[in-house]
């Protein structure tokens, strides 16, 4: 959006000014007396804002992201995700050690791939924890809309690690085992380790799936993954799904290799595990890419905002609604409105305050709310059309 022309009220002619069209964190915007035909606005602390077409408030980002809203219609607490990630990381670390021990004792390539898989999961889970902490930092002058997108970056890095380390190494080990199959020793050790790992992963997967289902409502799994704005939850769910599938594949490969006396099945299982990890990484990377570029609110959230704004009797018509997520719980919304005739500047300010409160009631993830007055009736004191 191009910068607005600067109009400074006589009452703020000597005040320090800023030339950007967007108010900064904590700024309260209100009408003032300025150039005829165009309203001027002032920051509540006294500095003039060269933005004749924005009404509303810009709230400072919260100190944490403990908002319960997850972005596609459900509710959860970020603290739960942190605890779940920590528990999964500690469990995976223990399982990784036992998998490696079993792999070196029995010579199973599938078990070695599973050990690498668990080790990568541990690293990824700590990266997600780090990303959650970085994203929770409050906004500052350099990042006025906060650091919420850091979570998207670290989640994307998790996808890269799953692809390169998990999938790549598993494929390499599987191809090597197929081309030079070795003899399996004492497969009972593998069965015990895999049985314990399946029990743990089944519990972890059921918790993650249950939390995800609370938010997706009636949506399909694929649609819910596409609509969610929290990649950490998607990453945990995908990793747990891949872990469950990988354990079943590893068990099948070892069983077939023992029953048929064909160790090549162990290598085939490792290859299949690698392919599963590659697919998991691609799905997570695609989701993170859209969030990094900038995704708007889910269609149902936009519809709810439009319906809420349209119900206000002071609004003549609702135009375009623009939005972008700067984090799972940090949504910026800009609404183009036609106000009814006969409204004063104070009436418009009151309307904006009421609209903001109503919008945040139906969409708690809205942190910054702006209104573009597309048309104001002459009776309100403003002439013509105001555009950005």
Domain contains 231: yes
Say yes or no: 137 and 275 in one domain: yes
Q: Are residues 240 and 266 in the same domain?
A: yes
Gyration radius (Cα) of the chain, Å: 27
* Percent composition of the chain: helix, strand, coil (DSSP 3-state, to 5): 55, 15, 30
Q: For CA atoms 52, 55, 60, 61, give the dihedral sign.
A: negative
d(CA 232, CA 173): 29
pLDDT at 378: 52
CATH at 209: 1.20.1510.10
The predicted structure's pLDDT at residue 309: 93
5 part of a folded domain? no
Last residue of a domain, one of 274, 293, 312: 293
Helix, strand, or coil (residue 134): helix
* Tally of residues, the chain: 388
Q: Which structural domain, as residue segments, surrounds residue 95?
A: 78-293
311 plus 236 within the same structural domain: no
Residue 72 lies in a domain: no
> In this structure, are 125 and 175 located in the same domain?
yes
Residue 227: inside a domain? yes
- Distance (Å) of CA 261 to CA 166, 208, 255, 257, 279: 28, 38, 9, 5, 30
What predicted TM-score, i.e. pTM, was given to this entire model? 0.69
Instruction: Kindly state whether residues 217 and 118 are assigned to the same domain.
Output: yes
* Last residue of one domain, picked from the residues 265, 293, 321: 293
Counting other chains too, the contacts that 43-46 makes at CB distance below 8 Å and 24 or more residues apart are: 46/12, 46/15
Are 35 and 86 members of one domain?
no
> Is residue 388 one of the residues assigned to a domain?
no
- Classify residue 2: in a domain, yes or no: no
Same domain, 23 and 42: yes
The CATH code of the domain that includes 308 is 3.30.70.1350
**In what order do the strands lie in the sheet containing 330-339?**
54-58, 366-375, 330-339, 315-327
Give residue for tokens 């990094």: 292
pLDDT of residue 157: 92
Instruction: Please identify, among 293, 327, 344, the residue that sits at the C-terminal boundary of a domain.
Output: 293
Continuous segment of H or E residues that includes residue 239? helix 231-259
Collapsed DSSP state (helix, strand, coil) of residue 319: strand
Same domain, yes or no: 59 and 95 = no
Please report whether residue 385 resides in a domain: no
How many Cα atoms occupy the beta-carbon half-sphere of 197 within 13 Å? 32
3-state class of 49 per DSSP?
A: strand
Q: Please give the chain's pLDDT, 388 residues, in tens.
A: 333 323 223 333 333 333 334 344 333 333 333 333 333 333 333 333 333 333 343 343 333 333 333 343 333 456 667 777 887 788 788 888 888 988 888 888 888 888 888 888 888 889 988 988 888 888 888 888 888 888 899 999 999 989 888 889 889 888 988 888 777 777 788 889 888 888 888 887 887 788 778 777 777 888 888 878 888 888 888 888 888 899 999 999 989 988 888 889 989 999 999 999 999 999 999 989 988 898 888 888 999 999 999 999 999 889 999 999 998 888 999 999 988 888 888 888 889 999 999 999 999 889 989 998 776 555 444 433 333 3
Q: 72: which residues sit within 8 A by CB, 6+ positions away?
A: 215, 216, 217, 219, 224, 227, 228, 229, 298
Neighbours of 307 (CB within 10 A): 11
Q: Measured between alpha carbons, how far is 108 from 252 in angstroms, rounded to an integer? A: 12
H or E element that contains 198: helix 187-216
Helix, coil or strand: residue 329? coil
Domain-embedded: residue 86: yes
The number of domains in the chain is 2
């Amino acid at each position: 959006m191009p910068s607005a022309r600067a109009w400074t009220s006589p009452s703020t002619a000597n005040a320090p000014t800023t030339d950007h069209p967007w108010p900064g964190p904590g700024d309260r915007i209100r009408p003032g007396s300025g150039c005829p035909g165009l309203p001027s606005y002032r920051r509540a602390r006294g500095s003039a804002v060269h933005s004749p077409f924005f009404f509303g408030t810009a709230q400072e980002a919260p100190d944490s992201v403990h908002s319960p809203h997850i972005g596609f219609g459900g509710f959860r607490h970020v603290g739960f995700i942190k605890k779940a990630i920590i528990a999964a990381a500690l469990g995976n670390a223990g399982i990784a050690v036992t998998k490696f021990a079993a792999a070196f004792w029995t010579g199973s390539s599938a078990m070695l791939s599973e050990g690498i898989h668990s080790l990568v999961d541990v690293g990824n889970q700590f990266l997600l924890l780090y990303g959650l902490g970085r994203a929770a930092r409050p906004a500052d002058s350099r990042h006025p809309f906060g650091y919420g997108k850091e979570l998207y970056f670290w989640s994307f890095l998790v996808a890269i690690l799953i692809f390169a380390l998990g999938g790549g190494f598993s494929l390499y080990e599987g191809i090597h085992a197929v081309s030079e199959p070795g003899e399996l020793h004492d497969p009972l050790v593998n069965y015990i380790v895999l049985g314990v790992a399946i029990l743990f992963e089944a519990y972890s997967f059921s918790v993650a799936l249950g939390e995800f289902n609370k938010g997706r409502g009636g949506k399909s799994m694929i649609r819910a993954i596409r609509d969610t704005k929290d990649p950490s939850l998607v990453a945990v769910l995908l990793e747990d799904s891949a872990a469950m599938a990988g354990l079943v594949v590893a068990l099948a490969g070892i069983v077939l290799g023992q029953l048929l006396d064909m160790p090549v099945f162990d290598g085939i299982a490792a290859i299949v595990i690698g392919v599963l990890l590659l697919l998991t990484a691609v799905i997570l990377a695609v989701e993170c890419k859209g969030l990094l570029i900038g995704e708007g609110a889910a269609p149902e959230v936009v519809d709810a905002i439009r319906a809420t704004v349209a119900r206000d009797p002071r609004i003549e018509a609702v135009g375009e609604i623009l939005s972008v997520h700067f984090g799972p719980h940090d949504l910026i919304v800009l609404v183009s409105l036609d106000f009814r005739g006969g409204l004063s500047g104070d009436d418009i300010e009151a309307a904006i305050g009421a609209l903001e409160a109503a919008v945040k009631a139906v969409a708690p993830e809205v942190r910054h709310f702006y209104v573009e007055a597309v048309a104001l009736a002459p009776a309100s004191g403003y002439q013509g059309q105001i555009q950005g």
